[in-house]
Chain A
Amino acid sequence: MTEDQRLIDIKIDELLEKVIGFHAAGYRLVQIGCTKTDVLEINYSFDKDYNFVNLRIVIPSVDIEIPSVSSIYWSAFLYENEISDLYGIKIKNMAIDYKGNFYRTTVKYPFNPQNTGSSGEGIPS
């Protein structure tokens, strides 16, 4: 293992409070990324002095709205627009909301679990 990585599972309504805590402690936002398993997971990664910490929220369905952290970390708006464009997750109060025009994809919400349509066609297996 090159480094220890802490992973903290939290609930959606705890998110803002926890992120404010990280901001106050002087962490920088490394990335926000969504993962599709049976449910949708969003990882918020922070780093301070090479100390890597992850917050994870689990979203049972795409209809649930999650709060934006872009009022705390302004740079988060890019990651959040990416998630909402690729997965179709609704995010409230983003600093800049591109309303689905951040990524110009032919298929709307290509990574969305309900989207089983034409994605992946034409790829050599």
Chain B
Amino acid sequence: MTKRTIIPFGPQHPVLPEPIHLDLVLEDELVVEAIPSIGFIHRGLEKLVEKKDFIDFVYVAERICGICSFIHGLTYCIAVEEIMKIKVPERADYLRTIWSELSRMHSHLLWMGLMADSFGFESLFMHTWRMREKILDIIENTTGGRVIFASAKVGGVRRDIDSATLKSISKSLESYKNELKEITDIFIKDSSVQHRLVGVGVLKKGQAYELGAVGPTLRASGWSIDTRKLGYAAYKNIDFEPVVETSGDSYARCVVRIKELFQSIDIIRQLAGKIPDGPIEIKITGNPDGEFFARTEQPRGEVIYYAKANGTKFLQRLRVRTPTFANIPSLVKMLPGSSLADVPVLVLTIDPCISCTER
């Protein structure tokens, strides 16, 4: 029998942007078991809801995660609005959807860069982030912030985008497509990328569902499940199909995210053409009383906001289940059988966001 070694991986590791710890049991170079451990950055943001006015809490909710900040704020707003039975003006719904898609694009580009970095393709990392900068510019020009949008509010949105700007955004994204294709083609076609991704960390179809995987991790294993199909915000008026790949390996997860980038451009184009005129927010009166599970699709997958209110201005409980939390079991099952050198790639392939996992 080969000797078994236990290698502690993380919380500090060059490839990890955020702290997760894995105890890897190795036989020679092969991982046979992995035990995850998180909890280095538990901030207790869920507890903070008992001390903050439910309208002000949206600023805290946005700061749960730095990358998908807008969708966190949006989901919180949806949860409170559903409890209070508020119908948000249609224009606000459209603007929310546009910003959701922009944040999905910048998150996917960030992930692609980090992924290139994890398999040692530094120049590809630089080029991907050069592309990401253009999305960040659009975001800054419409919301004022680069990653923290501060644009969602209970009852609508805080800023409007005028129609001339919307048209120019949708036009510039069309020309952006070609430039983007040049970069994404490297991920899809290049032999050195394929060498590191194809067949690595295969998650079978049944396994992915059983482990409760969400988002691109689930869709790369052949499931057409996308929370956007629930039709929250303006997604009900948009024509799109979830991106599905069937091979379930790291390459498939990469391809799903790349196709989603182009899908997002298409969704923004549809939205910019359909957006109605009108008010962007409605006035909130009274306090929430009741409970609701709000579900939306983040770049990383489905996020759940459970809000429970008792008629005061402080919510009784806010529970956030972030997509990375649901994807950790899949990661643990992906690792056995892969070699130690592939562990960084596999950890990144679920797009881990540990800070929002622990809130």
Contacts and interface: CB of A to CB of B under 8 A. Distances in A.
Asked whether any CB of A lies within 8 Å of a CB of B in the complex, the reply is yes
Nearest to A102: B39
Interface of B: 35, 37-40, 42, 44, 46-48, 50-52, 78, 82, 209-212, 225, 227, 229-232, 292-293, 295, 302, 304, 306, 308, 310, 316-317, 319, 321, 325-326, 328-330, 358
Contact of B321 (A33, A101, A103, A104): A33
A111 interface: yes
Interface stretch (A11-19, A60-68, A73-81): A73-81
Nearest to B306: A33
A41 to B, nearest CB: 9
Contacts of B293: 5, 45, 52, 54
22 contacts: A2-B232, A3-B295, A5-B292, A30-B212, A31-B306, A33-B319, A35-B317, A37-B308, A50-B229, A73-B210, A74-B210, A74-B329, A75-B212, A75-B326, A78-B325, A102-B38, A103-B358, A104-B40, A105-B42, A111-B46, A111-B47, A123-B51
Contacts of B295: 3, 52
A104 B42 contact: yes
Interface in A1-46: 1-3, 5, 28-31, 33-37, 43, 45
Cβ-closest 9 pairs across A and B: A75-B329, A103-B39, A31-B321, A33-B319, A35-B317, A75-B212, A104-B39, A103-B42, A29-B212
B211 A43 contact: no
Contacts of B48: 123
B304 A30 contact: yes
A120 interface: yes
A30 B296 CA distance: 13
Contact of B230 (A3, A73, A98): A3
A116 interface: no
Nearest to A85: B39
Nearest to A111: B47
B352 to A, nearest CB: 13
Q: Which among B38, B209, B302 has the highest number of chain A CB atoms within 10 Å?
A: B38
Interface in A72-112: 73-75, 77-79, 85, 96, 98, 101-105, 110-111
Contacts of A77: 329
A77 B328 CA distance: 11
Contact of B329 (A1, A35, A37, A78): A78
A1 to B, nearest CB: 7
Contact of B317 (A36, A54, A75, A85): A36
Given A96-B35, A120-B47, A120-B51, A50 B230 contact: yes
Given A35-B316, A36-B316, A74-B211, 9 more contacts: A30-B304, A33-B319, A36-B317, A45-B293, A75-B211, A78-B329, A79-B325, A103-B39, A123-B51
B47 A110 contact: yes
A120 B50 contact: yes
B51 A125 contact: yes
A119 interface: yes
A110 B212 contact: no
Contacts of A78: 325, 328-329
A70 B192 CA distance: 40
Contacts of B231: 2
Contacts of A28: 209-210, 212
A81 B358 CA distance: 12
Contacts of A96: 35
Contacts of B37: 98, 101-102
Contacts of B229: 50
Contacts of A30: 212, 302, 304, 321, 326
A57 B230 CA distance: 27
Contacts of A73: 210, 212
A5 B48 CA distance: 26
- From A2, A3, A35, A79, name the one whose CB has the most chain B CB atoms within 10 angstroms: A2
Contacts of B292: 5
A31 B329 CA distance: 13
